[in-house]
Homo-oligomer: A and B are copies of this chain.
Amino acid sequence: MINRIVLVGRLTRDPEMRYTQSGIAVTRFTLACDRPFSGQDGKREADFIDCVVWRKQAENVSKYLSKGSMAGVDGRLQISSYEGQDGQKRYRAEVVADGVRFLSSKGDGRDSAPPPRDDEAPQAKGGFDQQPYSGGIDLSDDDLPF
């Protein structure tokens, strides 16, 4: 009934975009969110959290984020079930993003990509802020409700 999650982490690899049969863009990526206190004794533990975005945001994520990019995600946790290759029912956890925020670049420099043009940016209820000049860029969906 309430299901809200906010993550900030780095992409473990380049995002993967595809289109549904009806032509809707979907992008998946994984965020590495280091756990508390990892690192203090040499070990670096992280949670690798699968995320999915739809539509305009999917395209923006695909265009502007890549392996190592830091991103903020605001969404809900979805648990899907599927049939394993051995016929067993299994579960998959995935964060369905309402908003994705481009927060920074890989260690070696700021992401070179320019911010997306958002002139027409509509009301992405529940999505993130858009702020072309904020050093980060917004990747909110900007044409379709979801």
Contact = CB atoms under 8 A, between A and B. Distances in A.
A47 B2 contact: no
A37 B129 contact: yes
Nearest to A145: B123
Interface size class of A (residues with CB under 8 A): 35 or more
Interface stretch (A16-24, A59-67, A134-142): A134-142
Contact of A36 (B70, B77, B103, B124): B124
Nearest to A33: B3
A102 to B, nearest CB: 9
A146 B118 contact: no
B123 A146 contact: yes
A132 B34 CA distance: 9
Interface in A71-130: 72, 74, 76-79, 86, 90-91, 93, 95, 98-99, 101, 103-104, 106-107, 118-130
A37 B122 contact: yes
A70 B93 CA distance: 22
Contacts of A98: 125-126
A8 interface: yes
A131 B41 CA distance: 11
Given A2-B33, A6-B6, A38-B129, 9 more contacts: A3-B8, A3-B49, A5-B77, A8-B101, A36-B128, A40-B120, A44-B131, A77-B93, A106-B135
